[in-house]
Each structure stands twice: as C-alpha cells, then as structure tokens.
Amino acid sequence: MIHPTAIIDPSADVSDGARIGPYAVIGPEVSIGRGTDIGPHVVIKGPTRIGEDNRIYQFASIGEDPQDLKYDGERTELVIGNRNRVREYATINRGTEGGGGVTRVGDDNLFMAYIHIAHDCVVGSNTVFANGASLAGHVKVGDYAILAGFACVHQFCEVGEHAFLGLNAVANRDVVPYTLAVGSYAEAKGINKTGLRRRGFDDLTIAALHRAYMTLLRQHGKRDQAIAALQTVAKGHKEVRRFIDFIEGSERGVVR
C-alpha cells in the first residue's frame, strides 16, 4: 500500500491499511491512521496526527510550518480527525506557541482545492470549504458551517455552526451561528434557512431563529435590551439560546 517512490521518515507511524501514493513525502513525527489515502506528491510535515479513512489528494501540503513571523522553530502540531477529504493544493499549517501550539480539524469535512487553514485554527466537523476559501490564524469554525468559494476569515474571528459565508465574502467579525453572510466586508442577510432545512431543522425552530435575528442583528436599540426581550423564546429553543450566547461572548463583535 506504499508506493516505492514515496519517501517516509523512519519515525513516521503509518498504520496498516493506509495508502501512500507516488512521490509523497512523509516527514518525522507524522502519524497516519488506518484507511487514510495519501495521494501523489503530497507533503506532510510533523508533528502531525491524521486519523482514519481520510483522503488527501495530490499536491496538498499538510502540517507545514506556520506562516507567522513570530514562529522560531518551536515544536507545534496539527491534529486532523477522520473521514476528511482534502483536495488538490490545499494547505493546512501547524500551530504556534502563542496560539496554544495546535491546529485542529474535526471529522467529515470537505476541503476543496486551494483552501488554506492557518496556524492555531480550530475547525469542527461536517464543514465545507469551497475552492480558495481561507482562514487566517486563530480562527474557529463551527460544525456544519459552509464557506463558499474564495471566502476569507480574519484572524481571531469565529464562524458559528450552521452558518454560511458567501462567495468572495470577507468576515472581519464573528459570523453568528445559523446565519447567512455575504459581501466584503461581510454583512448578515438573514437566517441560513435553506441549509437548516437540509439538515432537518423544523419550521418552528427556523422561525424562532429568524425572530432572534431580526431583534438582535437589525434592531437599532441596545443589544442588552434586545437579548432580554428574547429570553422567553430562548427557553423553548436551545438554538436561540446558543444564538444569544454567541453574541454575548463575541470579543470582536458580530457581522450585522
């Protein structure tokens, strides 16, 4: 299952059942789980841990040094979960000491060609990054979020779960869970109703989230007053409670 032209460091741990394609380069302190398929010319630098049943396509660069001027060769790592698909020319960098030392990726994500995940990012599970989508350092992306083609997220921002960031959008603030944001700089355009319906959210929950959006993101009054007005709705919907908690906890402010 390992092509004879592949170069694998003796300290790498390649599980039985993993596949390594022609001319791939697997560096020291790299761990590759069972069933993971590493394509031709992929370069993986450690310390990097990759779980099971992932597929990494040709010419991807995984676990390279962070693109941070403060990085001075200290030991940092990248951790990738299971069943992810990483397409051609994708780049995922390790963490930095100042950011906790670890870049983390969950399970069942689709990363299309030319995406970039920078140092110290935390990406959840079941996300989709379309071609060219990029995260600067220290970004968090929640489960089931979608970044359309060439969408970019500023460092230290967060994209909430089930959010949709549109084509060419630039998020310089936090994108609230369940919302749809477009433009440069990104502006919120409503609840991500189509995505929520596809994932089984019922009409009552979507309607409650829409009311929360109208009150919290478009009201001209004080935020604290708007949040107080929604406490009754939040009691019946954990999604609305999450919506409110995210806004209250945002350090950079939210996309409105």
Active-site residue among 21, 81, 132, 137? Answer: 137
* Distance of alpha carbon 197 from alpha carbon 137, whole angstroms: 31
Catalytic residue, candidates 46, 68, 106, 119: 119
> Does the annotation mark 138 as catalytic?
no
Q: Is 120 an annotated catalytic residue?
A: yes
Question: For domain 7-138, which architecture applies?
Answer: 3 Solenoid (2.160)
Domain range list for the chain: 7-138, 196-249
Contact 79, 103 (CB under 8 A): yes
C-alpha torsion 180→238→240→199, nearest 10: 20
Per-residue pLDDT, averaged over 191-216, amounts to 92
Give yes or no: 119 in active site. yes
Q: Residue 93 — left, alpha, or beta (φ > 0 → left; ψ -120 to 50 → alpha)?
A: beta
Are 227 and 243 contacting, i.e. CB atoms less than 8 angstroms apart?
A: no
CA distance 205 to 117: 32
Transcribe 5-18 into DSSP letters: T-EE-TT-EE-TT-
Instruction: Give the pLDDT of residue 256.
Output: 81
**129 close to 58: Cβ distance less than 8 angstroms:** no
> pLDDT band at 217, cuts 50/70/90?
low
Question: Quick check: pTM over 0.75?
Answer: yes
> Which stretch of DSSP H or E encloses residue 32?
strand 30-32
Amino acid making up residue 236: G
In this structure, of 28-37, 62-71, 163-172, 244-253, the range with the lowest mean pLDDT score is 244-253
User: Out of 120, 124, 142, 162, which one is annotated catalytic?
Assistant: 120
Nearest Cα residue to 135 out of 162, 107, 105, 161: 105
What pLDDT, in 10s, does the model give residues 99-157?
A: 999 999 999 999 999 999 999 999 999 999 999 999 999 999 999 999 999 999 999 99
